[in-house]
Amino acid sequence: MDLHKSTYTALIADAQQNNRQTLAALLIRHGYQILYANNGEQAVELFKQASPDIIFMALSMPLMDGYQATRLIKQHSEHHFTPVIFLAPGHDDALLQQCIDAGADDFLFEPYEPVLLSGKLATLQRLSALNRKMQGMVSLIHREQEIAEQVFNRAVQKDNIKNPHIKSIIRPASTFSGDMILSEYSPSRDIHFFIGDFTGHGLTSALGAMPVSEVFRAMTAKGFTPQEIMLGIHKKLRQFLPVGMFLCAQLVVISRNLDHVTIFNAGMPDLLIVDGRNHQIKHHVKSNSLPLGIIDNINTDEIAQTLPLQQHDKLVIYSDGLTEAWSETGEEFGHDRLQAAIQRARRGEIFEQILSQLETFCGDRSHADDVTLLEINCVPELLPALHHSDSDHARKSHTRSRGEWELTFILKQKRLKETNPVPIIINQIMEMEDIESDRQALFTVMTELYVNALDHGVLALDSSVKSDAKGFSSYYRERELRLAQLDHGRVSFHLSIRQQNDTRNLRIRVEDSGKGFDYHRLPAPESLDPGRLMGRGLQLVRQLSDSITHLDKGNIIEVVYGWNTA
């Protein structure tokens, strides 16, 4: 009923004509139009057709009694409030309880008192008006949530990598999810994934995803290290998260060679590395850090876990909403069922098998928490295209010559473990030369040269250790140890631009303070085993550059990268 309406409609459902006429006479005095029903079935049909403002329901009627009719009317009412007043013959407690169970909103006892009826009508009119107002507010909230969800999805999820070898799903427990999945290629062709699970779920949790997405995408695009990205996200969260709210997160970086993965697990469930051939779980990568946003400072070097990969390995990442999902009998899905689903899956069906098992297990029970599942298949098709030096890309025409210039950049001692010089140098090149389409190739070249100078020059790490998966893990443990203890050493970059006719050549000279090596004994590029976990870096540099030359005792390397300016 609407208080602003000039005319209301009342439906009287009663098999007794005298009762209908007596009540109708009283209602007409209050401005009501009357609809009549002789039985319960007719009452239900008239309700569907005419949507009356109020219903007076007799208990006993042919075909369908008042209890059955009221239950059906309430089912069809959904969120719309239509009061039903039962016409009771007397104050029988058992009878009144049956009416309440059927959905009665009030009672009217025979004989009908005009004053009492007037009071009930006024009260129910106010309740109906309040209900309509609330429904309008709920509709407005739902509409705003739909708009916010669209904005959220475009701002957070839209720019994720689209690749058939990446399968993901987020099932929110409410309109918004407190979980997120972000993915982005770095300039050096590494693949970055960020998986987050905010405290709770819903709009409050989802709001935190937008600033996290901005930091992740901006820092990844500029070539910052995974450690710097993780720290940047943590600092951002410390700025705006209220007390008691935090973010369980994983940052996963798959190397451009698909030979290793670096994982930062801060409060999330185990990341699973699965052998792609037999679906045996090779590694459980556990959390070794508090969630982000709780304490002021985190040591990202200590959180990082680096593990070897082989082609066709799969990474399975999930939120605790999956393992803590309940069945209709109140049992948790759990880790054992998750692992069993992985092992039962046929080739290429791990993602589908987990979801199928989860749906069967939960039945019709809704999820109490957001459920997130991500599967990454580590195959070459996962990587962005690599542009070779003999392709159109490397010889692409750019703007005319801007003149010649030189740049020297030197890192010494502890600065080597605190600063990644590659993004700084690349941004300077882009500023000077305006060759944005070459950023990825140059970033890859510069990264390989710097890692080679730092690891094998300054830190004196032996690359032959990486001949197998076990040695690969040992190599990275030793690298972190030597970096932590580093108090000497130097890596210098000298860049120069020269114009030769229609070609513009960038000469990159990298020198380290290491002992060098006998580069004359390097194997020919064509003789390198593509399955080895070492030696791939220089292969990439050769593919992307015009020339590569070792000098002095092997601690100097020069690379020429050219493009056409005609």
Cis peptide before 52 (omega within 30 of 0): no
Buried b (16+ CB within 10 A) or exposed e, 185-212: bbbbbbbbbbbbbbbebbbebbebbeeb
Residues 487 and 552 occupy one common structural domain:
yes
Q: What is the pLDDT of residue 144?
A: 64
3-state secondary structure 238-283: HHHCCCCCCEEEEEEEECCCCCEEEEEEECCCCEEEECCCCCCEEE
Residue 480 lies in a domain: yes
Q: What is the pLDDT of residue 377?
A: 95
Residues 241 and 303 occupy one common structural domain:
yes
Residue 141 lies in a domain: no
Whether the Cβ atoms of residue 176 and residue 369 lie closer than 8 Å to each other: no
Residue 396 lies in a domain: no
* Amino acid (1-letter code) at residue 288: N
Residue 151 lies in a domain: no
What contacts 414, CB < 8 A, 6 or more positions away?
486, 487
Residues 555 and 470 occupy one common structural domain:
yes
Give, to the nearest 10 degrees, the angle between helix 17-29 and helix 114-152.
Answer: 80
As a dihedral over the C-alpha atoms of residue 122, residue 127, residue 128, residue 131, rounded to 10 degrees, the angle is: 160
Q: What is the mean pLDDT of each run of 10 residues along the chain (566 residues)?
A: 63 90 88 91 92 90 91 82 85 82 86 82 81 76 66 73 93 74 91 90 69 92 91 92 87 92 96 91 94 91 90 94 90 94 85 93 83 94 67 48 87 88 91 86 91 93 74 80 89 94 92 87 58 62 90 93 85
Residue 129 lies in a domain: yes
Element (H, E) at 215: helix 209-221
Buried b (16+ CB within 10 A) or exposed e, 11-21: bbbbbeeebbe
Give the Cα separation of 251 and 305 in Å (integer). 10
Residues 314 and 170 occupy one common structural domain:
yes
Q: What is the pLDDT of residue 91?
A: 74
Element (H, E) at 182: strand 179-185
Give the Cα separation of 379 and 162 in Å (integer). 15
Backbone φ and ψ for 163, nearest 5 degrees, come out as -155, 130
Closest among 372, 361, 383, 454 to 413, alpha carbons compared: 454
Strands 166-171, 54-58: pairing kind: unpaired
Give the Cα separation of 439 and 188 in Å (integer). 9
Element (H, E) at 196: strand 191-198
Give the Cα separation of 186 and 435 in Å (integer). 17
- Domain termination site, one of 86, 103, 135: 135
CA 461 to chain centre: 37
Residues 230 and 334 occupy one common structural domain:
yes
* Amino acid (1-letter code) at residue 52: P
Q: Which residues pair with 171 in a beta bridge?
A: 371
Residues 361 and 458 occupy one common structural domain:
no
Give the Cα separation of 198 and 217 in Å (integer). 19
Residues 519 and 460 occupy one common structural domain:
yes
* Amino acid (1-letter code) at residue 403: G
Closest among 253, 264, 270 to 300, alpha carbons compared: 264
Residues 465 and 515 occupy one common structural domain:
yes
Buried b (16+ CB within 10 A) or exposed e, 403-438: eeeeeeeebeeeebbeebbbbebbeebeeebebeeb
* Amino acid (1-letter code) at residue 467: S
- Domain termination site, one of 382, 414, 448: 382
How would you class 282 by CB atoms within 10 Å of its CB: exposed for 0-12, middle for 13-18, buried for 19 or more?
middle
CATH of the domain at 272: 3.60.40.10
Give the Cα separation of 22 and 216 in Å (integer). 73
Whether the Cβ atoms of residue 156 and residue 194 lie closer than 8 Å to each other: no
CATH of the domain at 553: 3.30.565.10
**Which range marks the domain in which residue 235 is found?**
159-382
- Domain termination site, one of 119, 135, 151: 135
Residues 469 and 552 occupy one common structural domain:
yes
**Three-point CA angle 114, 120, 126, nearest 5°:** 140
CA 8 to chain centre: 51
3-state secondary structure 30-99: CCEEEEEECCHHHHHHHHHHHCCCEEEEECCCCCCCHHHHHHHHHHHHCCCCCCEEEEECCCCHHHHHHH
Neighbours of 315 (CB within 10 A): 23
Residues 554 and 411 occupy one common structural domain:
yes
Buried b (16+ CB within 10 A) or exposed e, 344-367: ebeeeebbebbbebbeebbeeeeb
Give the Cα separation of 415 and 559 in Å (integer). 24
Residue 140 lies in a domain: no
Count of domains observed in the chain: 3
Q: What is the pLDDT of residue 400?
A: 54
Backbone φ and ψ for 193, nearest 5 degrees, come out as -125, 135
Residues 88 and 193 occupy one common structural domain:
no
Strands 106-109, 166-171: pairing kind: unpaired
Buried b (16+ CB within 10 A) or exposed e, 469-489: eebbbebbeebeebbeebeeb
